[in-house]
Amino acid sequence: MSNTAALLARRERLLGKNMSLFYSDPVHIIRGEGVWLFDADGRRYLDCYNNVPHVGHCHPRVVEAITRQASTLNTHTRYLHEGILDYVERLTATFDPSLDTAILTCTGSEANDIALRMAQAVTGKTGVIATDHTYHGNTASVSQLSTRMPPVGGFGGHVRHVPAPDSYRPLGGVSGEAFSIAFAAEVEKAIAELQKSPFGFSALIIDPFFANEGFPDLPEGFLDRTVAAVRKAGGVVIADEVQPGFGRTGGHMWGHQKAGITPDIVTLGKPMGNGHPIGGVVAGSDALNAFRKAFRYFNTFGGNPVSCAAAMAVLDVIEDEKLVDNAREVGAYSKAGIDRLRHKHAIIGDVRGSGLFFGAELVLDRGNKTPAAELATKVINDMRERGVLMGKLGIHQCATKIRPPMPFSKENADLMLSTLDDVLSGL
Ligand code: PMP
């Protein structure tokens, strides 16, 4: 039995079946550094996928901060400690002044779970609206928002799904302002339905970049009407920043800032601790205190001294290495490179994204925009064979997902682009 086969068998025996893995030939990674990953045979891969090691795999400043704090103190969160205060002060300073308090968690799922309850504490209602191709996490309550996996306990009657915005195939074929009106109309319809139900309308939860939905290119002000409709109905807007947060989309620290909206509640995760598990909810003090009063929430690990040291180091590196600007510059360079490939390869139907989150939607024919989901899987596997790791996602599962660690350089982009060119030429 090969080493890979033996590991797969052991994994299934110990961790159970149906644990998802990337690539038909799974990669056995043993080390990471910057934008590079190394497998057990010493082969190097360019990481164009991972947003968790946000400032680069094993960034020495994050490693040092974790090591220093872990060798000084780590404990639960029921003692006074400056680490969490210094971090929340620094974090909230990057938001609109109305978002000035936070609860720290260990995962994005927990953060969204809290956000839903916070919305309930504020509005007294439980009805929630999400898009039909989203993912907001794995707890019993947030899994009910996601259509991608069977939700725990089925969809509650309190959840309404609206069609995810798709700039390549917009609702009714409309674009520009009409597209934004069409999306807001769907949300208004869902609000009206919830208001007639026993649940009432509590919140709209969206990723302002719609990352899992395939990161559509949306017109400026796309969400303005939707946000106004939510507020008019007495609901709150929850922005899930697990994917677009911490400068990923380039030029802005937060996806909602890029979208030009100010949410009532923001949730954070993945990139926050560069791989150390930390997430959070940022909100105004009224909402946060309403939640604490209603639910008496406690989290043993969320915001412990080591997590806060890791997260603080991430903010330091983002700032000192100017990674938000890098995301904008290298992202634009890479996207332009993929756009050039579009002229050469008919399979590329659309190129979109922002900052260091971009990709191409692959289609069988441009006229009908027929999704090329199987070929997208082949492209991802062929890229892996050539040492470049990326993924795919979107409504039709045919958009390449390129979302590398933030120190990704133009040189890295050139390697990714020439490899993609080769792979597409070989289809
Ligand atoms: N929200 C979004 C938008 C996500 O993509 C994810 C994870 N992929 C989550 C929430 C859940 O985060 P976690 O896995 O840390 O619980």
Query: pLDDT of 359-397, one tens digit each?
Result: 999 999 999 999 999 999 999 999 999 999 999 998 899
Q: Which residue CA neighbors atom 10 of ligand 1 most closely?
A: 136
279 and 392 fall within a common domain: no
**Ligand 1 centroid to 138 CA: how many Å?**
8
> Is 246 within 8 Å of 278 (Cβ atoms)?
no
Q: What is the mean pLDDT of residues 81-91?
A: 97
- Which of 238, 207, 198 is closest to 117 using CA atoms? 238
For residue 203, give both structure tokens: 């919140």
Assess whether 266 and 327 both reside in one domain: no
Q: What is the CATH number of the domain that holds 327?
A: 3.90.1150.10
Top mutation candidate among 270, 278, 281, 401 for ligand 1, by most atoms within 8 Å of CB: 270
CA distance 361 to 207: 20
What is the rounded distance in angstroms from the CA atom of residue 102 to the CA atom of residue 88?
A: 7
Residues 6+ apart with CB under 8 A from 368: none
Contact at 8 Å (CB) between 342 and 352? Answer: no
ipTM, 2 decimals?
0.99
Ligand 1: distance of its center to the CA of 344 in Å? 35
The CATH number of the domain holding residue 158 is: 3.40.640.10
Note whether 38 and 150 are same-domain residues.
no
pLDDT tens for residues 256-274? Answer: 999 999 999 999 999 999 9
State pTM to two decimals. 0.97
Q: 279 and 355 share a domain?
A: no
Asked whether residue 267 falls in the same domain as residue 364, the answer is: no
Residue 345 is part of which domain span? 15-47+322-425
Give the pair of three-digit tokens for residue 123.
């509005």
Q: Tens digits of per-residue pLDDT, 283-312?
A: 999 999 999 999 999 999 999 999 999 999
Q: Would you call 392 helix, strand, or coil by DSSP?
A: strand
Do residue 215 and residue 72 come from a single domain?
yes
Cα dist from 403 to 249, 271, 328, 350, 392, whole Å: 10, 12, 13, 17, 10
pLDDT tens figures, 223-239: 999 999 999 999 999 99
pLDDT at 347 over 90: yes
**End residue of a domain, out of 259, 294, 320:** 320
> Ligand 1: which of 113, 128, 135 to mutate, most ligand atoms within 8 Å of CB?
135
Residue 173 Cα to ligand 1 middle (Å): 30
Q: 38 and 72 share a domain?
A: no
Q: Which residues line ligand 1 (CB under 6 A)?
A: 107-109, 112, 135-138, 207, 212, 240, 242-243, 269-270, 279
